[in-house]
Amino acid sequence: MDKESLQEFRDLCSMLRLILVSEPGEELLARLMTIEVVEPEDDIERGLAMVCEDVQKNSGRFPQYREERRVEFARLFLGPQHPAAVPFASFYLSETKQLMTDITIQVRRYYLDAGMAVTGLHRVPDDHIALELEFMAYLADESAKSLEKGDVGAASEGGARLESFHREHLAKWVPFFAERMHESAESDFYRGVALALKGVASLDSLG
């Protein structure tokens, strides 16, 4: 990826992280209101268009809309007992479908090896989708900064880390998570997020 592509990918992952870390607040909805929807060309763009259009068509009823999304977020990702779309990699990658397995530890090693200070570390298991998106945004940002400085070696190393994490880990479980989200969502907001995530997981190359 060139610097501009890395920055675009960083912004994409950061936006998806904000959507999946908690129910949408006023600041996020206001930000989505300002995004101009263009004719989408792939699943990522189609998904983001669905999210933005759902927010924009409900702009006149934000208090009710926020409450609806809060309830939907909780049902999809929190439970109380059996969330519709469990947001942890270990659920999909471990044979027992348990949380906090060796998968979680492997993901933590990715973070530590790359030198990322994880937001919410030790409060949320490391393999939560929002943390993994934060990690990919971090790697993309670091690679873009290295290119800006002319440090091609560091940029290449960061790109290799990004490619490896995506190919060897994220792409192996996010399609299943996104499918559960899409099937269980009641709004185009979360159906759009699911489609965009599928698009991210299916990208051919990130290095």
Per-residue pLDDT of the chain (207 residues; tens, 9 = 90+): 888 999 999 999 999 999 999 999 999 999 999 988 888 889 999 999 999 999 999 999 999 999 999 999 999 999 777 899 999 999 999 877 777 778 888 999 999 999 887 665 567 789 999 999 999 999 999 999 999 999 999 999 999 999 999 999 999 999 999 999 999 999 999 999 999 999 999 998 775
CA distances 8 to 11, 13, 140, 144, 154, Å, are 5, 9, 9, 10, 19
Whether residue 196 lies inside any domain: the answer is yes
For residue 48, give both structure tokens: 């983001």
User: Domain holding 120: CATH number?
Assistant: 1.10.3480.10
Q: Is 146 exposed, middle or buried (0-12, 13-18, 19+ CB in 10 A)?
A: buried
Residue 124's beta-bridge partner residues? 121
Whether residue 207 lies inside any domain: the answer is no
Question: How many domains, in total, are found in the chain?
Answer: 1
Main-chain dihedrals φ then ψ at residue 71, nearest 5 degrees:
-65, -40
pTM of the predicted protein model: 0.93
Q: Which domain holds residue 165?
A: 3-201
Q: Is 34 exposed, middle or buried (0-12, 13-18, 19+ CB in 10 A)?
A: exposed
